[in-house]
Amino acid sequence: MQTFRTQVIEYIKKVPKGMVVSYGQVAAAAGSPRAARQVGGILRALNISDGNVPWWRVINNQGVISIKGNWTATKELQSELLKKDKVTASEHYTVDIAKHRFK
């Protein structure tokens, strides 16, 4: 294994259109079920140097875009992208992950 980061990126790249995954899910797929927080940090780096990684399909386990910092712009962008992926995103950045979670 290279880095946890690599695993995460690879996994996210596999997420099909119209589906979403939770941080914890990605972390688990990368080998560490509790490293969800780390996933968040990786995502932050991705949205800057995005490679073709559907980072917007990654949200927390509650199906909500919980970004806190000054990433408000990113939040809006994320919900926009989700809608384009045929994913129903509420006005409060909420997604029905129960129906769209990638497995």
Partner DNA sequence: TTTCCGGCTGATT
Partner DNA sequence: GAATCAGCCGGAA
Site residues (vs DNA, CB under 7 A): 3-5, 22-24, 31-32, 34-41, 43-44, 47, 55, 58-62, 65-69, 71, 74, 78
Cβ at position 86, least distance to DNA in Å: 19
Smallest distance from the beta carbon of 2 to DNA, in angstroms? 9
Instruction: Compute the least distance from the CB of residue 53 to DNA, in Å.
Output: 11
* Bridge partner residues of 95 (DSSP): 89
Query: Which residue is associated with the tokens 């996210």?
Result: 12
Query: Which CB atom, from 14 or from 37, has the smaller least distance to DNA?
Result: 37
Residue number, 1 or 16, with CB nearest to DNA: 1
DSSP assigned state of 20: B
> Helix/strand/coil (H, E, C) string of 23-64?
HHHHHHHCCCCCCHHHHHHHHHHHHHCCCCCCHHHEECCCCE
Nearer to DNA, 19 or 44 (CB): 44
Between CA 40 and CA 36 the distance in angstroms is 7
